[in-house]
Amino acid sequence: MKKEEKTKQTCEKIVHAATIEFGSRSYDAVSLNAICGKYQIAKGLIYHNFKNKDELYLYCVKKSFEKLMSYMEEGKEEAKTAREEIRIFLERREVFFAENPYDRNIFFNVMLYPAEHLKEALFGVMERYDAYIRKQYRHLLSKIRLREGISMEMAVEYLSLFQNMYNGYYQNKASRTGDFSRFIEEHNLKISELLDIIDRKSTRLNSSSRFIEEHNLKISELLDIILYGISTEEKGS
């Protein structure tokens, strides 16, 4: 095996182990010693590939966010209406989180409990994700007629502001209770309810968690209110 290939495999093994650990507990609760002992990785190999725990964590965070965005793009379907666009978007995100629980936990830990000394770097990752979401908003808004006096950028800003206010509410709620697992459970329960509402069906997606769903149900309700406020009707209706 060539040296480059071996180095790549070693790095992938380290990142895989670290993703499981960071996706199972908080940043502060993870140690490089624990990763080395549990996954039989020499500490020297970690320091050969990453300067320290911070650098390894940030790499895992970036990979998790990139993995989510790639998944959303690969499974994109062409929706006929804005409502269907919301349903497809949230459904894809729900499936990703269900299939990748460690990436899901890293995602929400960054959103809710960013490590204080890494906030600037983590905000950089979140800004790239926000840019992706804004791109999806533009695609969504292209399917509706905006009210007179409301431009595409104004509408995008409105949606972004509303989402940030909503996320801030849940950040505050989670920080008060400190119950991260319940937060995830409620979120996932509401996703199923949300998809039922959008599809007008009584069947529900199987979901093991309850927080992610409350989060997305409310987002959908808010988006409906916002879309009603900034549009006249969906194109083609």
**pLDDT over 90 at 34, yes or no:** yes
pLDDT above 60: residue 73? yes
d(CA 24, CA 93): 20
| Residue 144 host element (H or E) | strand 144-146
Domain 58-234 maps to which CATH number in 1.10.405, 3.30.110, 1.10.357, 1.20.950? 1.10.357
Q: Quick one: pLDDT band at residue 180, thresholds 50, 70, 90? A: low
Tell me, rounded to whole angstroms, the distance of Cα 25 from its chain centroid.
Answer: 17
Q: Residue ranges per domain, the chain?
A: 1-50, 58-234
pLDDT score of 182 more than 70: no
Give 219 or 40, the one with higher predicted confidence: 40
The pTM score is 0.75
Q: Identify the CATH number of the domain defined by range 1-50.
A: 1.10.10
pLDDT in tens, 113-150: 899 999 999 999 999 999 998 898 888 778 778 777 87
* Residue 159 half-sphere exposure toward CB, CA atoms < 13 A: 28
Residue-wise pLDDT tens digits, 207-220: 334 555 555 555 55
pLDDT at 235 over 70: no
> What does the pLDDT look like over 169-179, one tens digit per residue?
656 666 665 55
- pLDDT over 70 (residue 71): yes
Total residues belonging to the chain: 237
